[in-house]
Structure 1
Amino acid sequence: MFIVEETIAGPEAAQIPKQRGESLLDTAVRYAEERHWDVFPGTWLEAVDGTQRCSCGDGRCSAPGAHPAREDWAAQVTGSVTVARRMWSKQPTASILLPTGRTFDAIDVPESAGFLALARMERMELTLGPVTCTPDRRMHFFVLPGAAAKVPDLVRKLGWTPASLDLVALGEGSYVAAPPTRFGSRGSVQWARRPTPANRWLPDVEELISPLAYACGRDR
């Protein structure tokens, strides 16, 4: 079970669990072993003249320490505990990235809309999967694979055009950064809803799209 040692109050009375005291290597291994999630190592942070810089070398990197380190990153993806342990042993500070379109897709929304949607989902007693909150103020809702293909039509049926909402479905060919990956000096990715035995079975995007679209519409 994932251990939470501290919580941070968030909007709409939500609590964001914050992981502490565990290495990136151990966490990556547990994602593969306990959740059967595929993982791959990304970039990492390096101290340059007293400043944390991304290992990619780009001084203007938009996600320092939290993006793929190679163009062929898909070739690194693994669900093997042994392989994951070996990769992070080589680079212990590498970010933990999870490919979407495999064991889950992710619905990417602004943090403000995400917390609003979470509050509404709880009132509706909807089943939720894990949800992350990133330092660049985005939230990712984990749902069953296939969501990326469904979302545009689902949004249209609700009366919105896909381009009008800041709501993106991440599927095959995309990825999300997993806790406790750090984004430069902005902080680390955290769980808004941590993985537990109770949410091992993910919801279909059709169950969540209405509150998410509504929240994004209000957030415009």
Structure 2
Amino acid sequence: MESAGKVDAWWRRWLRLGGRPDEADAAAERARRLRVLLDAARAGFPVAPAAHAVDFTCSCDRVGCPAPAQHPLSFAWQSQATTDFDQITRWLVRDPDANAITPTGRVHDVLDVPTEAGRLALERLAEAGVAAGPVAALGEDRWFFFTTTRSPLDEDEWWTSELDSHPDEAADEHPGLRWHTRGSYVLLPPSRLADGSEVTWVRGPDHPLPDPLRLLDVLTDACAEVGAPALGEQWLIR
């Protein structure tokens, strides 16, 4: 991982030349964050820069931002997203605090469930011998199960995360679960939320992506068992 290695070498050399420890710690943290992002890019996850938290609010200029530190920086995020190491490194060097998103429906989809349901589902998948694939935790609130993306042939059977559900009865069938497909995105580790928590990997991006249908029933049952409510509409930057 050449870009991350260059950052590591830079801050170690800088410290030897007399840099302050607190600044060295900050440089080491930047290198760690870059390594995590490049690991995702190496696994094929396209990455785009996102807003970050500033004093429990959002770095964007939107007054009363409804999704602080949880949305892309640019309206062109879908075309901007890339797996290019150099481009990702430039973004993070320019804005070391930037979060990162990955668009869904291109390489992967994401099944998004409450944390309690995610833990329960992961245990049951392991007991059944079903590989869950990459899983990320959005602070203490949600878990993201990354899966292969849908086929256009299945268009009528799936719904995007821009709506609570489509068709209308889907919310009753899948309470608390949101399926991120085309036109949506999720935060990637090591993004930080406005409350100070971080997006982290429960299972890393190097795990093979599973078929979403192998996980759906288990996740749905887990959501129902923990009493997860149906979700309201998710805000997406336009």
Superposition TM-score tier, normalisation by shorter sequence: 0.7 to 0.9
Cα shift at 1:192: 2.0
The one-letter code sitting in structure 1 at the alignment partner of 2:84 is S
Give the secondary-structure state (helix, strand or coil) at the position aligned to 1:142. Answer: strand
Q: Does the 8 Å contact 2:40/2:205 carry over to 1?
A: no
Cα shift at 1:151: 4.9
Aligned to 2:93: 89
Counterpart check, 1:173 vs 2:177: no
C-alpha change, 1:23 and 1:54, in structure 2 (3 Å) is farther
| Residues 34-84 of structure 1: CA deviation (Å, up to 9, x unaligned) | 2121100011223xxxx3431113464343222111222223111211222
Which stretches of structure 1, 4 residues or longer, exceed 6 Å deviation after superposition? Answer: none
Give the secondary-structure state (helix, strand or coil) at the position aligned to 2:38. Answer: helix
Aligned to 1:39: 47
Give 5+ residue unaligned stretches, structure 2: 2-27, 160-168, 228-238
Q: TM-score, normalised by structure 1?
A: 0.75
The one-letter code sitting in structure 1 at the alignment partner of 2:204 is R
Give the secondary-structure state (helix, strand or coil) at the position aligned to 1:93. Answer: coil
Aligned to 2:214: 207
C-alpha change, 1:174 and 1:136, in structure 2 (3 Å) is farther
Aligned to 1:74: 78
> Where do residues 178-193 of structure 1 align in structure 2 (5 Å cutoff)?
178-193=188-203
Q: TM-score, normalised by structure 2?
A: 0.70
Pick the structure with more strand per residue. Answer: 1
Residue 110 (structure 1) aligned to one of 101, 104, 114: 114
Q: Which has the larger radius of gyration?
A: 2
Q: Does the 8 Å contact 2:136/2:200 carry over to 1?
A: yes
Q: What's the RMSD between the two structures over aligned residues? A: 2.3
Q: Does the 8 Å contact 1:136/1:186 carry over to 2?
A: no
Residue 150 (structure 2) aligned to one of 135, 146, 152: 146
Q: Percent identity?
A: 32
> Where do residues 59-70 of structure 1 align in structure 2 (5 Å cutoff)?
60-70=64-74
Structure 2: how far apart are the matches of 1:206 and 1:52?
A: 37
Give 5+ residue unaligned stretches, structure 1: 2-19, 153-160
Structure 1: how far apart are the matches of 2:86 and 2:144?
A: 27
What number of residue pairs does the alignment pair up? 186
Aligned to 1:57: 61
Q: Does the 8 Å contact 1:108/1:139 carry over to 2?
A: yes
